[in-house]
C-alpha cells in the first residue's frame, strides 16, 4: 500500500500548513503532503511550501470565468495525484459541488470556535463580543454550507479575564496546531467513519 496522500488548501500565512509539515517531518502525520493549493500568489504559505519541498498549484481566481472553472482544474490535479484527503487550512473561498461532491467524507476544515456557535468570519471576535466563557476549535467535514459539516473533533479553550482578540487568538491557534495534525493522522490510519452526520472513530 502506498502512502496516504494529502492536499492542503490555504490562502494566508500557513501556520496550520506548517504544523502539518512539521508533523510529517517528525513521523506522526501518517501521510504525505503531496500538494498545496493556494488562491493567492503572494501568500506567505507559498514560501513555507517551497521550503518544505511541497508541490504547489497556485492560481488567481480572477483569471477564470467562475469558481467552477478553476475548481475543475484543481480537481484534475487532485485526481492525477491520487489525493486521499483535502485539508483546508485557512482557505478563504467557499467551495462548490465540483470539489465538495467527489471528496465528501474526504475533505476537512478547522474553525476557531465550538461549532455550531460563531460560524463564518471573525469567529474569535464574535465569541468575545457575545461574552462566552468557553470557546475553542472544531475540525469538521466540509459540505456545501458555511461551517455546517459533521463535527470530527473539538477542543475547548477558556476565555479568561482581560482577553482580547490577539490573546485569545494565540491560545486558539496553539490548540489548532496540536489538534489538526492529530485528526489528519486518524484519517491516514483509517480510523474515521462518516455515516450521514454520524462521525465515529475506531480506536
| Residue 127, phi then psi, degrees to nearest 5 | -65, -40
Predicted local confidence at residue 129, as pLDDT: 97
Percent of the chain with pLDDT over 90: 92
Predicted local confidence at residue 80, as pLDDT: 97
Catalytic option among 40, 48, 111, 177: 111
Question: Residue 1's pLDDT band (boundaries 50, 70, 90)?
Answer: very low
Mean pLDDT of 136-152: 94
Rounded Cα distance between 186 and 189, Å, is 5
pLDDT of 144 above 90: no
Q: What is the pTM (predicted TM-score) of this model?
A: 0.95
For residue range 157-183, what is the model confidence (pLDDT) as tens digits?
A: 999 999 999 999 999 999 999 999 999
Residue 108 CB partners (closer than 8 Å, separation 6+): 85, 86, 87, 88, 139, 140, 141, 142, 152, 183, 184, 187
Count of Cβ atoms closer than 10 Å to residue 155 Cβ: 15
Q: Among this protein's residues, is 140 annotated catalytic?
A: no
Percent of the chain with pLDDT over 70: 99
Q: Domains in the chain, ordered, with CATH? A: 5-197 (3.40.50.170)
Predicted local confidence at residue 203, as pLDDT: 63
Amino acid at each position: 500500500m502506498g502512502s496516504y496522500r494529502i492536499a492542503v488548501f490555504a490562502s494566508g500565512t500557513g501556520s496550520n500548513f506548517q504544523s502539518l509539515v512539521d508533523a510529517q517531518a517528525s513521523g506522526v502525520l501518517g501521510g504525505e503532503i503531496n500538494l498545496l493549493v493556494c488562491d493567492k500568489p503572494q501568500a506567505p504559505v507559498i514560501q513555507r511550501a517551497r521550503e518544505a519541498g511541497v508541490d504547489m498549484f497556485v492560481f488567481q481566481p480572477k483569471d477564470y470565468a467562475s469558481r467552477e472553472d478553476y475548481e475543475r482544474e484543481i480537481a484534475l490535479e487532485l485526481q492525477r495525484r491520487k489525493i486521499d484527503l483535502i485539508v483546508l487550512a485557512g482557505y478563504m473561498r467557499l467551495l462548490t459541488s465540483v470539489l465538495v461532491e467527489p471528496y465528501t467524507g474526504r475533505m476537512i476544515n478547522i474553525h476557531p470556535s465550538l461549532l455550531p456557535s460563531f460560524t463564518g468570519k471573525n469567529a474569535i471576535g464574535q465569541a468575545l463580543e457575545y461574552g462566552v466563557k468557553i470557546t475553542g476549535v472544531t475540525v469538521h467535514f466540509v459540505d456545501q454550507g458555511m461551517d455546517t459539516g459533521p463535527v470530527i473533533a473539538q477542543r475547548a479553550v477558556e476565555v479568561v479575564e482581560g482577553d482580547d482578540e490577539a490573546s485569545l487568538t494565540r491560545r486558539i491557534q496553539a490548540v489548532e496546531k496540536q489538534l489538526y495534525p492529530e485528526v489528519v493522522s486518524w484519517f491516514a490510519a483509517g480510523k474515521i467513519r462518516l455515516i450521514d452526520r454520524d462521525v465515529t472513530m475506531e480506536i
